[in-house]
Each structure stands twice: as C-alpha cells, then as structure tokens.
Homo-oligomer: A and B are copies of this chain.
Amino acid sequence: MTRPFSFTLAATDGRARTGTISTSRGDIRTPAFMPVGTAATVKAMLPGSVRETGADILLGNTYHLMLRPGAERIDRLGGLHKFMNWDRPILTDSGGFQVMSLSGLRKMSEAGVTFKSHIDGSLHELTPERSMEIQRLLGSDIVMCFDECTPYPAEEAVSQRSMEMSMRWAARSRDAFGDRPGHALFGIQQGSVFRDQRAQSAEALREIGFDGYAVGGLAVGEGQEAMFGVLDYAPEMLPQDRPRYLMGVGKPDDIVGAVARGIDMMDCVLPSRSGRTGQAFTRHGVVNIKNARHQDDPRPLDAECSCPACTSYSRAYLHHVFRAQEMISGMLLTWHNLHYFQELMQTMRDAIAKGEFEAFERAFHAQRAEGDIEPL
C-alpha cells in the first residue's frame, strides 16, 4: 500500500516551524532546502553525493525535462527517479516560470502558453492539464500547480488579473491532477506585493484544497526587504497544517529570514551555480576562490566544515583548479555549497526544536559580519 502524503509539525518557535513531510519515497525534514536538478542531474554532483550533503528531496524542472529528453521518454524509461538514480522524493515545478523566462516567442492565453524551445526552436504548449500530465509522467512526488509567476514590479490591476488567472489555473490543475495516492499537489499563492491580493489568492487556494502551499511570485527581483515584507504576512494566510514552500529562494540570509517567517521548504540553484563560478558559501560569508589571496593559502575553505572540499584540500588547491578550469573545481565547490546549505537547515531545525531560533539568528548574522579569515 502506498504511504499517504502527510505533514507533521514537531515544534514551532515564534513563526519558525520544524517538522516532517512523509512521502512514499521517504521523509523530508523541514525546514528543507531542495537542490535543483534541472536536467535530471544536480550539476557537477553524483546523486549519492547530493544525499551525503543531507538533502532529503530534489527539485526537477518540468520545462527542461519536457524539452529534453522529453516526459514521455522518461516515462517509458521508468520515471525520473530511476532515470537519474535518485530514489528519494522529487518535487517538480510546473514549467510556467521557465516558459516565461527561457523560451523564445511565446503566446499566453486563458488556455495556457504556446512557446518555442530554447534548445531547438520546436513549438510546444503548456497548459494546466499538460503540466499535470508531464509531472505525472515524470513520476514527481510533489507536483506544482501551473501558474503565472507575476513579474515584478507589476501594477496592482495587472497583478490582480494575473493572480485571478493563476487561481483559475489552480482549479484546472487540481481537476487534472485527480486522485493520486502517495503523490501531492501544491497550490501557489500569487498577488505580488499586494496584501489583499495575497489574501484573496490564499482564500481561493484553500477553497480548492491542496496538500501544500507555495508562496509564489517572490525572488523575482524585488529585493530582500520587499520579499520579507510579503513574508511577514503571506505564509500566515496559508493553512497551518500544510507545508509552505517559498519558490526559488535563496541566499543563506534569505533562507534564514524565510524560515523565521514560517516557511518550510525552499529551492535555489545558487549553491550549485555559485560552485561552478568559484563562489563558496561559508559561515563567515562568501569566499571568492579565484582571488589571488588564496594561491598560497594552505588552510581549508572553512575549518569547521566536514565536506570533502574542506577536509581534503587547501584554498591554494581550490584556487589552482578553478584557475586551471578543471572540473574538480565545480565538483568540490558545489559539494561544499550544498553541504553548507544543508548544514544550515539542520542547524535551524535543531534551534527551532530547542526554542532557540532567535539566538541562532543572532549568531548566524554575527558570524557572517566577521567576514572571511584574514589572509596569511
């Protein structure tokens, strides 16, 4: 029998929450950070290594996978989990956001979006119904509603119309998703930075009923202050007993601020993308490994970190392989960054469980303010 999808809150501390999402493919400890596996791979990592960093769940991109290798193909090959060798939970986005940002010529209507592939220019259509079908073919454990991610900034009336269409698409997504035991469907709140629209959107989603709820339309250029402004009220509008997912976030301080405001799940390409461009996240802030100050430095990136990049290599080595454009550079820094993000999540889960989240936040910001260790 398939294990039902469920969410159990274990503790709260202020607005911060910790708990467990149970799925038929394993548990997800919350707050959870989901590494992004765009094209059926978390770039520069083997799945076993991703798991070693502490990840309970990955995110897959519907837009990329539908274009290459194709959802029907992945289905024939046994689904995304088997295809990419990751047997734990996978959340897939709806494709909507990336259709808007990556594809060429596109045409949106009430029905959905037609667009040209950024890979080969071929013509495709995404509708709420097709998005549900693709995510089913992929075998996603957590399916996202097809919505329009309202661009920022948006005039109030534009945002209102966009949000209302997303709510109609949410209802169509719900209908198309149907009844799939062991699989979850999440609704996505829109409404830009307008509180009443966020409330209307939350109400519309609650009426339809979902297994979890995302705060959408953020991390689209509005800046941290505006984002936190929305997070000061938006998550609370969503059901307390369901997971809340903030899409596309973020930097470590964004993540901490989001958790402080009641967010349970996040995803971002930042740790892997930064890893490939020589940026490392540490408890002391960001280290640019390409900087010449590291070329003779025998010390690890972060002496307190237990990842392979920090336990087995010097800054001098990491600097060298970055400069030499060796693949191991992206491999090690991505591993480090994902490890750092997952360790941050674990630290927050522990702090919330102990009722010490505020103390954690102060220590987090104080340590970052110190900056990187002095050059030798």
Contact = CB atoms under 8 A, between A and B. Distances in A.
Contacts of A332: 46
Interface string A35-73: 000011101111100000000000000000000110001
Given A83-B316, A85-B312, A327 B326 contact: no
Interface stretch (A13-21, A195-203, A258-266, A317-325): A317-325
A43 B295 contact: no
A43 B317 CA distance: 14
Contacts of A76: 296
A30 interface: no
B73 A317 contact: no
Interface string A76-97: 1110000111000000000000
Most buried by B among A41, A43, A78, A316: A41
A308 interface: yes
A295 B69 CA distance: 8
Contacts of A187: none
Contacts of A324: 39, 41, 68
A28 B78 CA distance: 42
Contacts of A84: 317
Given A73-B295, A331-B331, A326 B43 contact: yes
Interface residues of A, number: 37
Nearest to A40: B320
A328 interface: yes
A313 interface: yes
A172 to B, nearest CB: 30
A43 B312 contact: no
Contacts of A127: none
A333 to B, nearest CB: 12
A330 interface: yes
A319 B77 CA distance: 13
Contacts of A319: 69
14 contacts: A39-B321, A40-B317, A40-B321, A41-B321, A41-B327, A43-B327, A45-B328, A68-B320, A68-B324, A73-B316, A77-B296, A77-B316, A83-B317, A83-B320
Given A73-B296, A331-B331, 7 more contacts: A41-B324, A44-B327, A45-B328, A46-B308, A46-B331, A69-B323, A83-B316
Interface of A: 39-41, 43-47, 68-69, 73, 76-78, 83-85, 295-296, 298, 308, 312-314, 316-317, 319-321, 323-324, 326-328, 330-332
